[in-house]
Structure 1
């Protein structure tokens, strides 16, 4: 229901929507990039493939652009670790050397739930997250829950609906929600 309403909303806003991906197309993307789309993301892409600036064309996009979008998250956090003295308390004592900080941060980030690009720097959690997952806006360690679910997100991104405080449990998608709610990350 959320996906169908999201698609209808995007159509009403003039977003170009092409045919969805086949199960084979989806499986090929997942195998190539090492993740599984979350429930709503998978259903959405099986029904439509949005086109235009900001959208990721999972069927035709070149691998370098998609890998760059997938790596954007880690690269952004590492940038802040190296350049902005970002170091969460939960990681322990901050090492003196940049290289050791980078190694420890990379190991920590690798344990985090995967996020998959949706639009620009907006991301949905990868499987095993089921339906009604939040959409995160991620720019380095600036993380915002940009929609409580796909429908809430498209209404914010493509409409005039104002952002409302998130109703999410802050610990449901750690550590991304820790960033979004500014908990234990500094």
Structure 2
């Protein structure tokens, strides 16, 4: 009986190739950034040590994003507009990091800003600020890079976008740190620049790995996407004023009806003639149009005169219209 023979054959076929991974070094890019800033005549001191990073991060309770950390490890810009993480006082650095939120708080209390992503704006500025602060608690701390340019500390990943934040003006200034240094110009501050200074480029090339789209950051991306550019930050200040005026008039109407006036009489008092609407019917000409506090004051004066002629006392009028006692003299004019 013949023995079975097993024959093993081999082929020279190459193993399936795997996609080549692109590697990049933040350290190499950080050196390019520092060299660029030096060419722009920005003073550069020694980079932060690991001990200094740990001290700053524990003091202010945040962590530097990896890409910004690499740059500050390579060299520390200390020129005007740059945060001096080594020599500035803790108070100065804390104010720098609180400025974005402080600016928003200030404009909300002035009734100059509201983000539509937060819902309907409360009529009372204090209530609006309380509501806004609930959203601000979710906002990652912004780490200052240069002047009004900040990068979020969270997520603690490379590639976070850089935000320009000044008061209630918000926009992206780079999809990441690389985009920021490509977009922002660092000009030499001197009386008469030398020809050699003029020949230096004020911007630098972004690396191939630079982000092409901004990563979404909680709270801050909402402000940018709401069209925040001051004067209302995505909401019309005039519309908000008109809404508050209408609310005030509704309250006043209810007060007058409680005072004994019929609904038809109150409705008539709430109307004001618009003489600029010649050619329109009576209903159109008598529609109440209030767009600001000036038009409200004029209308309240007309209403107060109507009530006084009807026999109301100044105190009754002041109570119904919400006029303070020291303003009574205006009703007598």
Unaligned runs of 5+ in 2: 1-25, 187-200, 204-210, 229-233, 236-333
Q: Could you tell me which of 125, 135, 140 is aligned with 2:167?
A: 140
1:3 to 9, 30, 35: 30
1:25/1:142 Cα in 2 relative to 1: closer, same or farther (>3 Å)?
same
- Taking structure 1 as the reference length, what is the TM-score of the superposition? 0.85
Higher radius of gyration, 1 or 2: 2
In structure 1, what is the Cα distance between the partners aligned to 2:70 and 2:60? Answer: 18
Please say if 1:101 is aligned against 2:145.
no
Q: Distance in 2 between matches of 1:22 and 1:8?
A: 19
The answer to whether structure 1 residue 62 and structure 2 residue 89 are counterparts is: yes
Task: Confirm or deny that 1:182 pairs with 2:226.
Answer: yes
Kept in 1: contact 2:83–2:145 (CA 8 A): yes
**Structure (1 or 2) with the greater strand fraction:** 1
**How many residues are paired up?**
182
- The answer on whether the counterparts of 1:3 and 1:150 sit within 8 Å (CA) in structure 2 is no
* Paired residues for 1:28-107 under 5 Å: 28-107=55-134
Uncovered stretches (5+) of structure 1, i.e. residues with no partner:
none
Q: Which 4+ stretches in 1 moved above 3 angstroms?
A: 181-186
CA RMSD across the alignment: 2.4
What is the CA deviation profile of residues 93-123 of structure 1, one whole-angstrom value per residue up to 9, with x for unaligned ones?
A: 3223222222221221121122111111111
Distance in 2, matches of 1:99 and 1:182, equals 22
Q: CA deviation at 1:183?
A: 5.4
1:33 Cα offset (Å)? 0.8
CA contact (8 A) 2:162 2:175 kept: yes
Indicate the SS of the match to 1:147.
Answer: coil
Any idea what the Cα deviations from partners look like across 1:49-89, whole Å, max 9, x if unmatched?
11121111111111111111111011111122122442223
CA distance in 1 between partners of 2:141 and 2:164 (Å) = 14
Q: TM-score, normalised by structure 2?
A: 0.50
Contact map agreement 2:33 2:181 (CA 8 A) in 1:
yes
Greater relative contact order (CA < 8 Å, ≥ 6 in sequence): 1
**Contact 2:117/2:226 (<8 A) preserved:** no
